[in-house]
Amino acid sequence: MEVALADTGGAIGAGQAQTAAIRIDGLVKRYGPFVAIDHLSLEIPRGQFFVIVGPSGCGKTTLLRILAGLDKPSEGRIETIAPAAGRPGNSMVFQGDSIFPWMNVWDNAAYGLRMRGAPKAEIAEVVGHYLDRTGLRRFAKSYPHQLSGGMRQRVSIARAFANDPEILLMDEPFSALDAQNKLLLQEELLRIWEEHRKTVVFITHSVDEAVILGDRIMVMTAQPGRIKNFVDVTLPRPRDVLELQRSPVYAELVHTIWSSLRDEVNRAKRQAEGEG
């Protein structure tokens, strides 16, 4: 169902946040009679850090998997930007542990590049770069079971970035981490992202995280998943996480998103209680 967008070309230079990277039109996803996503339409411009928040079970992962081409929509159209020749369309950082236990850190991070047959020299350079950026160079030869949870998550992020995709899809990459590691990784992610400003679709349960990282935040309704509202984050970049949290604009944004999310979380809770 993936149709490449025609490159509009002309005046819009690459990297300018004008071309759409993702266009979703009337997306419906059903599991039997169960409606996970209900008529969702959305456009994400190229280079945007797009964040999705919503109550548990509202269809966030489902949406991301459809964007990744891992699941098929029941109805509607998905268009994603055609990547430059030789580059992949998207790479996913999965919810939960997803790095291969049987590969060491280096081989895990090199996986995408190897799968598309990149030259050896390029693999060595790119993987080395991202292992440096994620502070994992010393652990290149370690196996996942020798790493902490936070380090494993960094491998997963390095693997996705090293693949150099047009679009990065990240599903709650930091949710399993403690507060300190989370903060460090958020800062790392911001730094790495600001190097290339790829289009990112990022799912999180944390409103703070959404504001810290995102350009635009989409709040989803409880099941069936629909768009509730968007919140644009106008905070300047590059962002310093600690500084950011002291700014009144930040507090205001967090409050706005929370109030919008609260009703949905309560509704989701009532739904769950109704079932049980």
Ligand X SMILES: Nc1ncnc2c1ncn2[C@@H]1O[C@H](COP(=O)(O)OP(=O)(O)OP(=O)(O)O)[C@@H](O)[C@H]1O
Q: Which helix (H) or strand (E) holds 153?
A: helix 149-162
Peptide bond into 73 cis (omega under 30): no
Closest CA to 68 of 100, 91, 42: 91
Tokens of 6: 């025609």
Which of 45/57 has CB closer to ligand X? 57
Q: Which parts of this chain interact with ligand X (CB under 6 A)?
A: 31, 34, 36, 54, 56-62, 95, 223
Cα-only R_g, the chain: 19
- Shortest Cβ contact with ligand X: which residue? 61
What is the closest distance, in whole angstroms, from the C-beta atom of residue 237 to ligand X in the complex?
27
Contact call for residue 271 and Mg ion (CB under 5 A): no
28 three-state secondary structure: strand
Contact call for residue 115 and other proteins (CB under 8 A): yes
What is the closest distance, in whole angstroms, from the C-beta atom of residue 2 to other proteins in the complex?
13
Closest CA to 230 of 245, 214, 246: 214
Q: Which of 61, 74, 104, 245 binds Mg ion (CB under 5 A)?
A: 61
Q: Which does 94 bind (CB under 5 to 8 A by kind): ligand X, Mg ion, other proteins, none?
A: other proteins
Secondary structure (DSSP) of 180-217:
HHHHHHHHHHHHHHHHH--EEEEE-S-HHHHHHH-SEE
Which of 35/103 has CB closer to ligand X? 35
Selected range binding other proteins among 24-32, 84-92, 123-131, 246-254, rule: CB under 8 A: 84-92
Q: Which of 66, 68, 155, 201 binds other proteins (CB under 8 A)?
A: 68
Rounded to the nearest 10°, the torsion over CA 236, 237, 239, 245 is 10
Which of 87/196 has CB closer to other proteins? 87
Binding residues for other proteins, per CB under 8 A? Answer: 65, 68-70, 88, 90-92, 94, 96-98, 100-104, 111-112, 115-116, 143-145, 163
